[in-house]
Structure 1
Amino acid sequence: MTSQPQTTRMGRPGFGWALPATVFFALFALVPLLMVAVLSFTTWNGLGPPEFAGTSNWTRVFRDPVMIESIWLSLLLTALGVAVQTPLSILLGVWAAGHQRNRAVLSAVYFVPLLLSTTAVSVLWRAVLDPNFGVPSRATWLFGDGNLFGGQATAIGVLAFVSTWQFTPFHTLIYQGAARAIPPVLYQAALIDGAGRYRRFFHITLPQLRNAMITSVVLMVVGGLTTFETVLILTQGGPGTDTTISAYYMYQKAFKGFDFGAGSAVALVLVAAATVVSLVVVRASGYDRMRSSTEGL
């Protein structure tokens, strides 16, 4: 009499595995968010107890044309970041995943901006692009009067460029890891079928990078909508209010105007905008539909 081999079915991990992360997220994300939501309905200058003010903060904020402009500027900077960083990160990530000569050395040099803080990067580029002593003052034939911070278009261009310079290496790492995880058998089969380099890239590499692309774009959206240090150091919201994005507007209201109620309202608008845009990206990518169909197999 032979014994039948027993098969064990591995179920999903229990909730206990997620409990530490859940507690951490609740304490440092949900609770502060709830406190900010309550504070947005009060009047508080940082001293003494807050006083209930109803919806007056929300009314004042959305009647302020600077607030409306700051939302559009935040979305514009975010869109520029996604449009520029995504193709650059994909190309550099796929290249860094290869076996080219000196690839490791060049990748290490390229990833240096990841070692620097946003403040250090902003101070560096502020000095480099200074209209009096920086590169633009020595190359007026290219930069005109040399003051890249004097106009809205050029100031936004500088902000987008500095963000791209700093954060493209991070997203390159995401695509590098995803590209290395692509099964080599797919490329071997494509070579047997006579597919060239470009067809392999567009028909194998890009589709396999889909999940990494969703993750990268969501991180770009959240990072773009919450950009602060770069604007604070490079433009301080100027000229005028031409680069006053929502995060900097929140800083002006709360920490310069000591109007923490209005600042809290702006912070909640930022949270809602980042959440909605991220959900739209995931929904538009079809990732949720693809996942549900896979789980049904």
Structure 2
Amino acid sequence: MALKTAVRERSPRPPRPAPRRPRGGTLQARRARTAYLFLTPALLFFALFFYMPIADIVNTSMHSGPQADEFSGLGNYVDAFGDPSVRNSFSVTLIFAVGTTVGAIVLGLALALLVNRPLRGRTLIRLALLVPYLTSVAVVGLLWRNILDPQLGILNRMLTEFGLPTQAWLNTDPLATIILVTLWQIAGYTMILFLAGLQGIPEVYYEAATIDGANQWQQFWRITLPLLAPTTLFVSVMAVISGLQAFGQAYIITNGGPADATDLYVFHVFEVAFRSRDFGYSSALSVLLLFVIIAFTAVQLRAGRRGEVQY
């Protein structure tokens, strides 16, 4: 009896059955399927209204003729690089984009620093500065075209009242004029972005700098500007993209003139497509602009990552 008991105790236990895998796979796989299920409507939206139109434009850019039905390969792109009107519109657009980007950063940051102070009625001031951005480009363009009109504009009337000579605002330096109008419209938006960035900087940094004897100017250069690098990067990227795609300012205020001085690139594409009826060539110009925007954005993001600091 003792021998049988000892043999039983020494006999190995039968192996446990392997745990059954839950239905539907692992938890990570189920989460991935759930995520893709919720992303499906957005992916379909982008496929139908973003990627398919881009593919159609790329296809159209390789055709020529009145109906864009004659295959020409890369002929439209070759013509674009040799077209002086395209080079002029691109240079004008580049100046416009650089001017609006630099102005948006400087003006937006200055306004944000101003309204971040404990001023009376600062909420009302912020709202007043944001209203132009909430107004459409068409309304802003019509408003400023009437204000700057050399004969009936309110600005020249005010100069006449003060005994000053009137100015032909849209003829003397029209590109600078539409840059200033654009800055007037977008300054409130960039102000809000910089204001959010300023309020995200911990006060302990400024307290420590004050204890170390740093004045306000030193605090601005050593603390505020470096910690606003992500906000500045976002503002610059959005301003460059918006500047390269600008259209309404040239179409409504100056109609691309005088002498193509405000012939912005997208306005030139519009002229080629709907007035010259050359849809293949205009599609090629649009594709080139897409690559230019992607290149500028990539360079800005790469430079912005190097400029980020942490304290």
TM-score range relative to shorter protein: 0.7 to 0.9
Q: Which residue of 1 aligns with 2:64?
A: 43
Q: Which residue of 2 aligns with 1:26?
A: 47
Counterpart among 213, 217, 242 of residue 194 in structure 1: 213
Q: Which residue of 1 aligns with 2:267?
A: 248
Counterpart among 123, 137, 144 of residue 125 in structure 1: 144
Deviation at 1:20, TM superposition (A): 4.6
Q: Which has the larger radius of gyration?
A: 2
Counterpart among 77, 86, 91 of residue 110 in structure 2: 91
Please identify, of 18-27 and 102-111, the stretch whose mean Cα deviation from structure 2 is larger: 18-27
Preserved contact between residue 89 and residue 172 of structure 1 (Cα < 8 Å): yes
After TM superposition, the score normalised by the length of structure 1 is: 0.85
Preserved contact between residue 209 and residue 219 of structure 2 (Cα < 8 Å): yes
Deviation at 1:280, TM superposition (A): 1.4
Deviation at 1:96, TM superposition (A): 2.6
Paired residues, number:
276
- What are the residue-to-residue correspondences of 1:1-297 with 2, within 5 Å? 14=32, 16=36, 19-43=40-64, 45=66, 50-138=69-157, 139=159, 146-151=167-172, 154-287=173-306
Q: Give RMSD over aligned pairs.
A: 2.5
Deviation at 1:123, TM superposition (A): 0.4
| Inter-partner Cα distance in structure 2 for 1:171 and 1:290 | 19
Structure 1, unmatched stretches of 5+, are: 1-9
| Inter-partner Cα distance in structure 1 for 2:81 and 2:165 | 37
* Residue type at the aligned position of 2:45: F
Deviation at 1:101, TM superposition (A): 2.2
| Inter-partner Cα distance in structure 1 for 2:163 and 2:79 | 43
| Inter-partner Cα distance in structure 2 for 1:131 and 1:222 | 32
Preserved contact between residue 97 and residue 177 of structure 1 (Cα < 8 Å): no
After TM superposition, the score normalised by the length of structure 2 is: 0.81
Deviation at 1:192, TM superposition (A): 2.0
| Inter-partner Cα distance in structure 1 for 2:47 and 2:220 | 42
Q: Tell me the secondary structure at the aligned position of residue 286 of structure 1.
A: helix
